[in-house]
Chains A and B, each alone.
Chain A
Amino acid sequence: MSAPLPPLVDAVVAALLVFGGAFALVGAFGLAKLGDFLKRLHGPTKVTTLGIGSILVASMLWFGLRGGAPPAHELLITLFVFITAPVAAHMMVKGAMAIDDSTKPPPPPERPHDAG
């Protein structure tokens, strides 16, 4: 498009891209590797925050600092993903609890009923 970025900004963009890609890979590896559903939920939540977040920041720097339009698209995607990711995870755990008793927390211990 327009003028190339200064070397420092270029290096920051590259570092953010590698950071985000590495987090996406580690999160997906956790999804594939870990032992039960509640453990597996940890990996993808890292992908939806740090992974996609740093890739979006890299994109904002890349397209925003070259005299083009302000990076509204990236901001919208960031906002949307960061708002919806916890909601989606919460709904998934509620669904898992509805069909699988092993994901429910243990009941509270029995206490003798004291009248008065």
Chain B
Amino acid sequence: MTAAVLPWVLAMLGAAIFLALYRLVRGPGLPDRILALDTLYVVTTALLIALGIWLDSGVYFEAAMIIALLGFVGTVAFARYLERGDVVE
């Protein structure tokens, strides 16, 4: 049953990535673009985990973990740039 359902889950996550990309391109402001990038990171993490189940392999967890980690660091850096005009003071 999981095998039958997984392609649809991957398709839903792919559609979510396209919607976040639409917001990333469309804007209209910097905070919206940062929010879209953050959503992209999170959905990509979920997509990699679902792909790991689909391919029955544990290799993708490391990649998912690194994307989640660097995504958080990137979001905080962008938000700090908005707030202070500088990332590291």
Contacts and interface: CB of A to CB of B under 8 A. Distances in A.
Interface of A: 1, 5, 7, 10-11, 13-14, 17-18, 20-22, 24-25, 27-29, 31-32, 37, 40-41, 43-44, 47-48, 51-52, 55-56, 58-59, 62-63, 73-74, 76-77, 80-81, 84-85, 87-88, 91-92, 94-96, 98-100, 103
A14 B50 CA distance: 11
B65 A80 contact: yes
Given A20-B46, A103-B31, 16 more contacts: A10-B2, A21-B10, A21-B13, A21-B50, A31-B39, A37-B29, A47-B43, A52-B49, A56-B49, A77-B68, A80-B69, A88-B38, A92-B38, A95-B30, A96-B29, A96-B82
Interface residues of B, number: 52
Contact of A88 (B4, B13, B75): B75
A24 B72 contact: no
Tell me the dominant secondary structure on chain A's binding face: helix
A91 B19 contact: no
Contacts of A5: 2
A88 B1 contact: no
B42 to A, nearest CB: 5
A77 B80 CA distance: 24
